[in-house]
């Protein structure tokens, strides 16, 4: 009687499982809570639409599904992010195999993703950024297949993936711009003369149309958001520091991997022309250098492509007798740097220990301009602290109100994080509805008039005197190692607005 045996899992599957376990396990550790943006995205997922001020709808729709299935805890947000990361690792290793890597090269490629601090951050909490590397890598893998199979009809599939990506995050446009440069500057320009590329572009445009129509209907709010972010949030960063940050967040251990990958894409000599893929990275890096961008994560999604190509290049090199030392030195180098920099990307240290670690490695970079934006620990950790305490403090203020005032009170916040915390985490406490003028909260509108009693978070006495007949300090919110702009936040009880809130609402809008 014949016996059927399940084939052993390959390197891509093993690496993906390991990455999923690491990222999800770290994300569920008790040191940190929900990230500020997660609170806002939950609010968005309670108001499904074809668009939002600062992002398209796809990631929000997926979050709604996750909440419906997994409930309202951290797992509903962290599991999809870790799963997207695992799929990215799997596809990176698979692409390395497609480019000629055996087990060693596949392990190097997938291991480089796992070892990079930036991917520990991106896959450690829920956002559209967790899906972006997978979209970009899938798009790049299709471009590789177009050349290796000489199959231009795959441009249709590329268009479908790009269109779906545009419904996740508008930065697919940057990938497309880099690709356009690569096509124009290399022999791959032959595709511009065929119909398949343009049909694929049509598919992408069709899939992106719902969000574009939403943008038109709402006055192109995302363009205003991106303009404000560049004007008021970006810290102008010298080109050398931009380059240093790219090396740091992707891990110095991975530097030889992606350099080898860039070289392979640029110089492959077996008749398969992939130089236009190298141009995608070079164009994106050029934009970062010229624009002096302070956010190294802006082009992080392109690195899995370079890791895949680098894994293939190093694998082939290690087959030569004189380069055999690469078989152990590259994995060891990657692992050593991955362990050394793990606390930079994974929430494995409590805030006090993390602050000590960050001082040891040179301090936490300031990623955004503005008062209260510099912290001893990275912003992506500091903004996971203090939310439950804020809800407690707001609840304490509400409890001082007479029963009649509680029923008609509202909460006004300066930003979507506090508003989202009160709305979502405060729901089980019976807190009043929360409002803010930031991003999509502004489009969702003001509370219905009349508003007689408001809990105001973070405003100053001068502003309150302009808006309300009466106000009193109800408490001071403290959140330890959180972002400084939230620490020592006053909580006010204000009564009797001097002007109807609906009339004031246009003045509170801020897209950033």
- Tell me the per-residue pLDDT of 439-465, one tens digit each, with 9 for 90 and over: 999 999 999 988 999 999 998 899 999
How confident is residue 3, by pLDDT bands cut at 50, 70 and 90?
very low
398 and 311 together in one domain: no
Overall number of domains in the chain: 2
User: Tokens at residue 53, please?
Assistant: 């001020």
255 and 320 together in one domain: yes
Q: What is the pLDDT of residue 1?
A: 38
Whole-angstrom Cα distance, residue 250 to residue 79? Answer: 23
* pLDDT at 375 exceeding the cut of 90: no
Let me know: does 173 contact 150? Beta carbons within 8 Å: no
Q: What is the pLDDT of residue 180?
A: 98
Residue 121 falls inside a structural domain: yes
Q: What is the pLDDT of residue 134?
A: 98
Looking at 308, 339, 356, the residue that finishes a domain is 356
**Once rounded to an integer, what is the mean pLDDT over residues 249-275?**
91
273 and 394 together in one domain: no
Residue 136 falls inside a structural domain: no
Whole-angstrom Cα distance, residue 382 to residue 375? Answer: 8
230 and 339 together in one domain: yes
Residue 364 falls inside a structural domain: no
Residues 6+ away with beta carbon under 8 Å from 446: 435, 501, 502, 504, 505
**Once rounded to an integer, what is the mean pLDDT over residues 431-435?**
97
pLDDT digits (tens, 9 = 90+) for 156-182: 999 999 999 999 999 999 999 999 999
What is the pLDDT of the chain when averaged over all its residues? 94
* pLDDT at 109 exceeding the cut of 70: yes
Let me know: does 270 contact 405? Beta carbons within 8 Å: no
pLDDT digits (tens, 9 = 90+) for 24-41: 999 999 999 999 999 999
Q: Name the more confident of 242 and 9.
A: 242
* pLDDT at 200 exceeding the cut of 60: yes
**Once rounded to an integer, what is the mean pLDDT over residues 146-156?**
96
| Percentage of the residues of the chain whose pLDDT score is greater than 90 | 89
* pLDDT at 385 exceeding the cut of 90: yes
282 and 412 together in one domain: no
Residue 138 falls inside a structural domain: no
Q: What is the pLDDT of residue 272?
A: 76
H helices present in 123-254, as ranges: 132-149, 155-166, 172-185, 195-217, 221-228, 239-249
* pLDDT at 7 exceeding the cut of 60: no
Residue 68 falls inside a structural domain: yes
114 and 51 together in one domain: yes
Looking at 308, 335, 356, the residue that finishes a domain is 356
427 and 487 together in one domain: yes
**Once rounded to an integer, what is the mean pLDDT over residues 367-393?**
87
**Once rounded to an integer, what is the mean pLDDT over residues 413-418?**
96
* pLDDT at 367 exceeding the cut of 90: no
Bridge-based pairing state of the strands 489-497 and 468-477:
antiparallel
Residue 131 falls inside a structural domain: no
* pLDDT at 493 exceeding the cut of 80: yes
Q: Name the more confident of 510 and 373.
A: 510
450 and 342 together in one domain: no
Residue 376 falls inside a structural domain: no
119 and 240 together in one domain: yes
State which residues form the domain around 472.
387-508
How confident is residue 362, by pLDDT bands cut at 50, 70 and 90?
confident
H helices present in 378-496, as ranges: 379-382, 387-399, 403-408, 416-420, 440-443, 461-467
How confident is residue 336, by pLDDT bands cut at 50, 70 and 90?
very high
311 and 409 together in one domain: no
Let me know: does 455 contact 411? Beta carbons within 8 Å: yes
Whole-angstrom Cα distance, residue 177 to residue 223? Answer: 17
426 and 485 together in one domain: yes
Query: What torsion, rounded to 10 degrees, do the Cα atoms 382, 384, 386, 389 define?
Result: 180
Cβ neighbours, 10 Å, residue 497: 18
* pLDDT at 369 exceeding the cut of 90: no
* pLDDT at 372 exceeding the cut of 90: no
456 and 324 together in one domain: no
Looking at 339, 356, 373, the residue that finishes a domain is 356
Residue 393 falls inside a structural domain: yes
Let me know: does 309 contact 257? Beta carbons within 8 Å: no
* pLDDT at 183 exceeding the cut of 90: yes
Element (DSSP H or E) covering residue 474: strand 468-477
Calculate ∠ Cα 341-344-349, nearest 5°: 105
Please tell me whether the peptide bond between 450 and the residue prior to it is cis, using omega within 30 degrees of 0: yes
């Amino acid at each position: 009687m014949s016996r059927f045996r399940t084939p052993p899992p390959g390197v891509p599957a093993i690496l993906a499982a390991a990455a999923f376990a690491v990222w999800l396990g770290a994300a569920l550790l008790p040191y940190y809570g929900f990230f500020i943006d997660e609170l806002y995205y939950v609010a968005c997922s309670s108001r499904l639409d074809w668009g939002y001020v600062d992002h398209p709808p796809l990631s929000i729709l997926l979050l709604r599904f996750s909440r419906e299935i997994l409930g309202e805890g951290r797992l509903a947000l962290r599991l999809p992010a870790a799963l997207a990361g695992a799929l990215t690792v799997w596809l990176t290793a698979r692409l390395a195999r497609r480019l000629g890597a055996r087990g060693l090269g596949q392990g190097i490629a997938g291991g480089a993703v796992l070892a990079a601090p930036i991917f520990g951050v991106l896959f450690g909490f829920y956002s559209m950024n967790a899906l972006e590397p997978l979209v970009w890598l899938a798009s790049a893998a299709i471009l590789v297949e177009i050349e290796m199979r000489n199959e231009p009809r795959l441009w249709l599939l590329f268009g479908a993936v790009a269109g779906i990506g545009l419904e996740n995050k508008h930065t697919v446009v940057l990938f497309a711009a880099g690709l356009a440069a690569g096509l124009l500057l290399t022999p791959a320009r032959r595709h511009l003369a065929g119909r398949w590329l343009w049909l694929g572009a049509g598919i992408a445009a069709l899939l992106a149309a719902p969000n574009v129509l939403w943008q038109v209907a709402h006055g192109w709010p995302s363009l205003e958001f991106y303009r404000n972010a560049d004007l008021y949030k970006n810290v102008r960063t010298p080109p050398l520091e931009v380059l240093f940050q790219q090396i740091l967040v992707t891990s110095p251990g991975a530097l030889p991997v992606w350099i080898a990958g860039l070289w392979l894409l640029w110089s492959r000599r077996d008749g398969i022309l992939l130089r236009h893929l190298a141009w995608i990275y070079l164009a994106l890096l050029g934009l970062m250098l010229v624009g002096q961008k302070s956010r190294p994560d802006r082009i992080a999604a392109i690195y899995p492509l370079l890791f895949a190509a680098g894994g293939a290049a190093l694998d082939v090199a290690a087959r030569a007798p004189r380069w055999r030392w690469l078989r152990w030195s590259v994995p060891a180098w990657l692992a050593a740097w991955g362990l050394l920099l793990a606390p930079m990307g994974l929430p494995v240290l409590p805030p006090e220990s993390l602050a000590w670690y960050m001082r040891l490695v040179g301090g936490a970079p300031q990623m955004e301009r503005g008062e209260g934006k510099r912290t001893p620990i990275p912003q992506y950790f500091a903004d996971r602290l203090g939310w439950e305490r804020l809800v407690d403090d707001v609840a304490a203020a509400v409890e001082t109100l007479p029963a009649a005032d509680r029923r008609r009170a509202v909460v006004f916040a300066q930003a979507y994080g506090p508003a989202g915390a009160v709305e979502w985490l405060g729901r089980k406490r019976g807190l009043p509805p929360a409002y803010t003028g930031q991003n999509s909260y502004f489009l969702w509108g003001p509370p219905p008039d009349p508003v007689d009693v408001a809990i105001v978070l973070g405003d100053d006495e001068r502003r309150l005197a302009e808006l309300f007949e009466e106000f009193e300090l109800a408490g001071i919110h403290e959140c330890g190692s959180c972002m400084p702009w939230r620490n020592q936040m006053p909580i006010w009880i204000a009564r009797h607005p001097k002007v109807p809130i609906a009339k004031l609402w246009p003045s509170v809008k801020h897209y950033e």
